[in-house]
Amino acid sequence: METPNPENIKVATENFYLDPTHIKPIPSKLLSFLPEFYGYNRTKTLRLQESKELTVQKNVNLFQVIEGVSPDYAVIAQKEANADVLEKFDKIFKQDFGLSLSTLTDRFENRLQNIEAKASEAEVKASEAEVKASEAKAKASEAKAKASEAEIQAKNAWDNYYTVVNSNSWKITMPLRLMGKFLRWFIYGSYHWLTFSPTSRPRRVIRQKMINIKNYINTHQRFKYITMAILNYFPHIRARLKRVGQIQFLYDKDNNIEIYQHLSPNAKRIYIKLKKDIEEQKRRGEK
């Protein structure tokens, strides 16, 4: 027995009545009751003529729910028979055919739940972004306040400096400040002169003169031979004089700062290698 399926909303409310021979739609459960009433052993409802694409489609819209249910259905029935005969048709009677209204509504509900879940997730992310934006705004305001405070402090410091340097007391005490500066320079220079420290000018001048003399002797073989013959009797003095040309590499003669200790490890390696090459070259010249 086959008939239009009133489970399809569009069929039940519109298409069914387009055929003038149709009187009233019959629900599948009511039609299944008829063979059961007449003594059939079991019945099965087969939903027919549904869209094959819709059968495997997971996300459905409302229009598909309304008109996507199988538009027709049929009821098949089986009489009482031996167990081996009934067993052959068990698979068919246990299988579902077609699309029911509950199947499509479940798919539609799942789609709505997924949409709501994504909307909730987006709302949470939006809230988090709003919180971060508020925090960033607060930090920006704090930074702006600190910048304004620093600007005020700088302005106050400049105003104080301007007030001081333009005050009468600053102008009156200028000779005293100049005298103090001169005294500090004089005391510092006198100390280095008297102690003959490595950074004192006399010691630097003498060192440079000794280096010039040493270079002059090294370029004149006659003087070099005589000098080496004399210094052989004084090995300690010879060793000291030999180091004179090496000391200059430890100082920056323009600002009297020991530069070796400020070099990078790679620069120190280059410096030591260069120093060894110079010493080796000097040894060859002395020989």
pLDDT tens-digit profile of 147-169?
989 989 988 888 888 888 788 88
| pLDDT, greater one: 23 or 263 | 23
132 confidence band (pLDDT: 50, 70, 90): very high
| Reported pTM | 0.44
pLDDT at 73 over 80: yes
The answer to whether residues 28 and 5 touch, using CB atoms and an 8 Å cutoff, is: yes
Three-class SS of 151-208: HHHHHHHHHHHHHHHCCHHHHHCHHHHHHHHHHHHHHHHHHHHHHCCCCCHHHHHHHH
255 confidence band (pLDDT: 50, 70, 90): very low
Give CA–CA dist 65/108, Å, rounded.
Answer: 7
| pLDDT, greater one: 193 or 73 | 73
The residue written with tokens 């009297």 in the block is 256
pLDDT tens-digit profile of 168-214?
887 888 888 888 888 887 787 777 666 666 666 777 777 778 788 87
The domains found in the chain, sorted by start residue, are 2-99 (3.40.50.150), 195-286 (no CATH)
Give CA–CA dist 80/39, Å, rounded.
Answer: 8
253 confidence band (pLDDT: 50, 70, 90): very low
Task: Calculate mean pLDDT across residues 212-233.
Answer: 82
Task: Calculate mean pLDDT across residues 78-101.
Answer: 84
Task: Calculate mean pLDDT across residues 235-255.
Answer: 60
Query: In angstroms, what CA-CA distances link 277 with 18, 23, 79, 273, 287?
Result: 111, 118, 115, 6, 16
In what order do the strands lie in the sheet containing 2-4?
Answer: 2-4, 72-78, 42-48
Give CA–CA dist 157/164, Å, rounded.
Answer: 10
Beta bridge partners of 2: 74
Mean pLDDT, the chain, rounded, equals 81
267 confidence band (pLDDT: 50, 70, 90): confident
| Ranges 32-41, 146-155, 269-278: which has the least confidence | 269-278
- Confidence (pLDDT) at 252: 43
| Ranges 53-62, 97-106, 134-143, 250-259: which has the least confidence | 250-259
Residue 193 token pair: 């002169």
117 confidence band (pLDDT: 50, 70, 90): very high
For residue 65, give the nearest of 106, 93, 12 by alpha carbon.
Answer: 106
Amino acid at 279: E
Phi, psi of 222 (to 5 degrees): -65, -50
250 confidence band (pLDDT: 50, 70, 90): very low
